[in-house]
Amino acid sequence: MEKSVLRDPGFYVMVAIGLAAMLILPVVLDMFTIMQITQYVVLAVFALSLGYIWGFGGILSFGQAAFFGLGAYTFAVAAINIGETTIPLILAFAIPCLFGAALGYFIFYGRLSDVYLGVVTMVVTLLFWKLANHTAGPEYAIGAARLGGFNGIPSIPVMNIPGEPEAMLDPVQMFQVFMGFLIVVYIVLRLLIASDFGRVSIGIRENETRASLLGYDVRRHKLVVFAIGSGIAGLAGAMWATYQAFIDPNAFSMEMSAKALVWVMAGGVGTLVGPIIGVILLQWLTLKLGTMELLNSLAVLGAIMMVLVLALPKGIVPTLRKLIVDGWTLARRKKTGGKADE
Amino acid sequence: MSDWTNILETRGLTMQFGGVTAVDEVDFTLRDGELRCLLGPNGAGKSTFFKCLTGQLIPTRGTVTFKGQDMTGWNTHDIVNLGIGIKTQMPNVFDGVSVYENVRLSSRRKHMAAQAKELAEKTLERCGITHLAKREVGYLSHGQRQLVELAMVLAAEPALILLDEPAAGMTGEERDRLARLVLESARSAAVIVVEHDMVFIRQIAKFVTVFNRGAIFREAMIDEIMADREVQEIYLGKQANAASA
Ligand SMILES: Nc1ncnc2c1ncn2[C@@H]1O[C@H](COP(=O)(O)OP(=O)(O)OP(=O)(O)O)[C@@H](O)[C@H]1O
Ligand SMILES: [Mg+2]
């Protein structure tokens, strides 16, 4: 993580893979599969939001769905009222980001311990879920948008080209735009993590006491990291809302938060590729195993998680990375006769 | 800033944990540029005293004044940014990153990237750990981690350096280097060193403060302290207690 991003070949490989998927998949796959994959893309953005704050800020949130749902509802309400989707998309980032900052202020400046952080984020998610469920009556409307309680909000506008509300994206275009979002989020996070700000975050993750003893304001730093993660989760929520054209309180569910944790854990905490791979692999597995109708998909997810934690405690990507690095050093050591340590 | 001659002053500094008074009405004074050794048996309150100075603990009573500025109750990072660096008893380092990055995160606090890099490299050199620069700190020996933490403290160029048992876990060679480093640093900063290692103390000590049961027990030159029967007794007493426990 210490060398410059721009000199890391892995970074370019990842971006290239992303761009290739964005351009080639629509050509080789049918529309139905593309729509399936679009789901993975949205969830990958969501997973990245948690992968960033947990892996690079040491903030373990059990309520990432609070921001996902908030982004989804923000987008839905704004899009229905405004009749286009560009400003709603910005709001779906900004409002969860601000809410995350406010919640973060309470958590970090109140010096709540890590355990309480988990509890508070979880409780906030539950509160949102309860609240959203209680808005069934017609009196619960924001402008033209009825919140709909447990029935959710239907007919959410499909994304349109900025400035042209009539130019709605077809499923393939939506896939490509979402891939674009995923790539941009990945690039921005990589640059952020490699910046001085990001290095301080990593220091805070490693040892908060030392970070503050060097003169860094740990509270402010964590607040910023948390707020950025909240904004990205909100963006993912908006993508979810426009993709489904529908949103209900389950966006705020504990299941949503738990899944994000499992994806990040499975893929590897402390990487960005990990959470993305976690989403693809686990969503695909649950889909496959779920269609066999042998088991409840949540039970399957739980079982997969247990196996992963036991077999690959560090997650998929760090384990692979270590294998490759070890193999490489071993090969070099053989060639140079044992001087590969430097 | 107001005029001051003593870089550090505490008045009536007291830290209580429930019924335990770990630091008890301490009036401590350190002149600018002074090198002071702080001795005392286990549990005397030395580390707790350091924690009160750096805001890791908020004192129950009393005041801490640094460069004429009362900073009692301030946040750790604000205190540190006034120019205090501390090496804690159990090394607080960034385990998952390289030695170089540990030190650079310290020098970067006050310098632009290019100077921070230069200063970090220079400090590694000074501490004799340039060869470890790329190693992950979590995998180093205790003595090496102590040196890394010391490098982090020095790279911040503080006006007051607090070192809590810096020689613990070091080899003889590392310890000698440490003694030289402490003496060298004391030319540009005030330093307080807590240590139990008498060989090390003899290498650096001039004026000494002895703590016992949270209070200042003696303040005198090192030779006088070493000859002091009562000081020997509090050390021996503790050891006898420990042996019988
Ligand atoms: N966080 C705490 N809570 C309760 N008691 C504490 C705490 N920290 C220290 N103490 C107590 O305060 C007293 C002083 O401890 P301190 O660590 O300051 O001693 P010390 O002089 O640094 O000893 P050593 O030489 O062993 O490091 C001890 O009795 C210790 O048990
Ligand atoms: Mg101590």
- Tens digits of residue pLDDT in A107-164: 999 877 777 888 999 999 999 999 988 888 888 888 877 888 888 888 888 888 888 8
Contact predicate A143/A81, CB 8 Å: yes
Kindly report, residue by residue over B56-85, the tens digit of the pLDDT: 999 999 999 999 999 999 999 999 999 999
What does the pLDDT average to over A319-332?
82
Q: Distance between CA atoms of A59 and A81, rounded to whole angstroms? A: 35
Predicted ipTM of the assembly: 0.92
Q: Where in chain B is the domain with CATH 3.40.50.300?
A: 1-83+159-245
Distance from C-alpha of A251 to C-alpha of A256, rounded to nearest angstrom: 7
Q: What string of DSSP letters covers B148-212? A: HHHHHHHHT--SEEEEESTTTT--HHHHHHHHHHHHHHTTTSEEEEE---HHHHHHH-SEEEEEE
Ligand with an atom nearest the CA of residue B234: 1
From A9-13, A297-301, B193-197, the region with the lowest mean pLDDT? A297-301
Do the Cβ atoms of B54 and A213 come within 8 Å? yes
Contacts of B77 in chain A (CB under 8 A): 212, 215-218
The model's pLDDT over A194-216, given as tens digits with 9 standing for 90+, comes to 999 999 999 999 999 999 999 99
Report the distance separating Cα A93 and Cα A340, nearest Å: 46
Among residues A16, A309, A41, A23, the alpha carbon closest in space to that of A187 is found at A16
Which of A59-68, A82-91, A298-307 is predicted least confidently? A298-307
pLDDT average, residue stretch A310-315: 81
| B80:A2 CB<8 A | no
Contact A215 B109 (CB under 8 A): yes
- Distance, in Å, from the CA atom of A307 to the CA atom of A315, rounded to the nearest integer, reads 11
Token pair in block for residue A332: 């070099």
Give the Cα separation of A326 and A332 in Å (integer): 10
pLDDT at A293 over 70: no
CA distances from A316 to A45, A83, A329 (A): 18, 43, 20
B5-20 per-position pLDDT tens digit: 899 999 999 999 998 9
Chain B touched by A340 (CB under 8 Å) = no
Q: Is the pLDDT of residue A342 over 60?
A: no
pLDDT digits (tens, 9 = 90+) for A80-119: 998 889 999 999 999 999 999 999 999 999 877 777 888 9
Contact A312, A270 (CB under 8 A): no
**Helical ranges in A139-207 per DSSP H:** 171-194, 196-206
Give A306's pLDDT tier (boundaries 50, 70, 90).
confident
User: How many helices (DSSP H) and strands (DSSP E) are in chain B?
Assistant: 9, 10
Q: Which residues pair with B21 in a beta bridge?
A: B16
SS3 A241: helix
> Which of A276-280, A296-300, B173-177 has the highest mean predicted lDDT (pLDDT)?
A276-280
In angstroms, the separation between the Cα of residue B192 and the nearest Cα of chain A is 16
> What's the whole-model pTM score?
0.90
Q: Give dist(CA A59, CA A145) in Å, integer.
A: 34
pLDDT, residue B211, reads 94
Which architecture characterizes domain B1-83+159-245 according to CATH? 3-Layer(aba) Sandwich (3.40)
Predicted confidence (pLDDT) at residue B244 exceeds the cutoff of 80: no
Q: With pLDDT > 90 as the criterion, what percentage of chain A qualifies?
A: 58
